[in-house]
Amino acid sequence: MINTITNRQGKTLSIQIDGSKDAPAIIFSNSLGTDKGMWDLQATYFKENYQVIRYDTRGHGKSDVIDDTDLANLGEDVIDIMDTLDIKQAHFCGISMGGLTALWLGLNAPTRFKSITVANSAAKIGQADTWLTRANQVEQNGLGDLVKTTHTRWFSEQFDYQHNALAQQTILSLASTPAKGYANSCRALAYANVRHELPEIKIPTLVICGSKDPVTTVEDSEFIQQHIQKSELVCLDASHLSNIECSDEFSQVLDNFIDKNQ
């Protein structure tokens, strides 16, 4: 089973495939500071009926750290994965940073996707100065301070993240993310902005938000839904990593949406 691909820049991306290669494909894209393991529950849910492809975003997990990264690079990596695996069309689901990747793909490679799902994301996440400052701080001091407080951003107070194995695994993935890889993604996010292009997206789009998300708000998701014609919005009772905090509901909502758009 293939577990790496080489992208157009000659760099290695780590992937994981579950399910049958003859089944419809779903590609999952992780958030900033996590890895493909954050989708474990969705992979288990979908692998009976789909080919499930997960990958570590460049600079995360086991994928190479690649300098001069921007949003277009993040999207092109997905196309390179599909081309290597000979996948003509797929459904794509990205969370947070992966959600911005989904929007880029919807704009720049619409014929390759039957649908996109934009979870806990925004057409522009945060402010450039904040991202650039964080990038510099992480390069200088590492990710230790972020790891200590990450649960307050990723999970709500009602969620027992301390006794949830996947939540703990995901927090640990932040601790092991290369500082340079994290910083490069911060710089990509600083300049990623597709707010004005959203009406150009014509493929079916599912927008998922978390009612308790302090990072990408319900308003951010409503803005996306209001500007994409073939879109629908679902709000879950969760914080930023809604696919972990409300895993069953997240998977069911995504399953119903994909089933309508085969």
| Listed residue (43, 44, 46, 112) closest to 258, CA to CA | 46
Query: Which residue shows structure tokens 């493929």?
Result: 203
**124: Cβ–Cβ under 8 A, 6 or more apart, which residues?**
192, 193, 194, 195
Q: Where are the alpha helices (DSSP H) in the chain?
A: 40-46, 71-84, 97-108, 128-141, 144-154, 165-175, 179-191, 218-227, 242-245, 247-260
pLDDT at position 102 is 98
Domain 4-260: give its CATH code.
Answer: 3.40.50.1820
Tell me the pLDDT tens digit for each residue of 157-187: 999 999 999 999 999 999 999 999 999 999 9
- pLDDT bucket at 68, cuts 50 / 70 / 90: confident
Calculate what percentage of the chain has a pLDDT beyond 70. Answer: 100
Per residue in 25-39, pLDDT tens?
999 999 999 999 999
- Directed axis angle between helix 179-191 and helix 71-84, to 10°? 110
Q: Residue 16's pLDDT is what? A: 97
d(CA 220, CA 249): 21
Tokens of 189: 């996010």
Residues ≥6 apart with Cβ < 8 Å to 38: 30, 31, 95, 166, 170, 173, 241, 243, 244
Q: Please report which confidence band the pLDDT of residue 1 belongs to, taking 50, 70 and 90 as the band edges.
A: low
Domain ranges for the chain: 4-260
Please tell me the predicted confidence (pLDDT) of residue 107.
Answer: 98
Per-residue pLDDT at 40 exceeds 90: yes
> What's the rounded mean pLDDT across residues 138-153?
93
- How many CA atoms within 13 Å lie on the side-chain side of 68? 2
What does the H/E/C string look like for 81-103? HHHHCCCCCEEEEEECHHHHHHH
Across the range 66-72, mean pLDDT stands at 95
Mean pLDDT of the chain, nearest integer: 97
Nearest alpha carbon to residue 71 among 37, 48, 94, 49: 94
Instruction: Please state whether beta strands 90-95 and 25-29 pair in parallel, antiparallel, or not at all (unpaired).
Output: parallel
Classified as helix, coil or strand, 213 is coil
Estimate the crossing angle of helix 97-108 against helix 71-84, to 10 degrees. 70
Measured in whole angstroms, the distance separating CA 181 from the mean position of its chain's CA atoms is 15
Instruction: Give the containing element (helix H, strand E) for 16.
Output: strand 12-18
- Residues 6 or more apart whose CB falls under 8 angstroms from that of 176 comprise none
What mean pLDDT is predicted for residues 55-72?
97
Q: What phi, psi does 49 have (nearest 5°)? A: -120, -5
Q: Which two tokens stand for residue 142?
A: 């590492």
Assess whether pLDDT exceeds 70 at residue 118.
Answer: yes
Tokens read off for 223: 């803005």
156: which DSSP letter? -
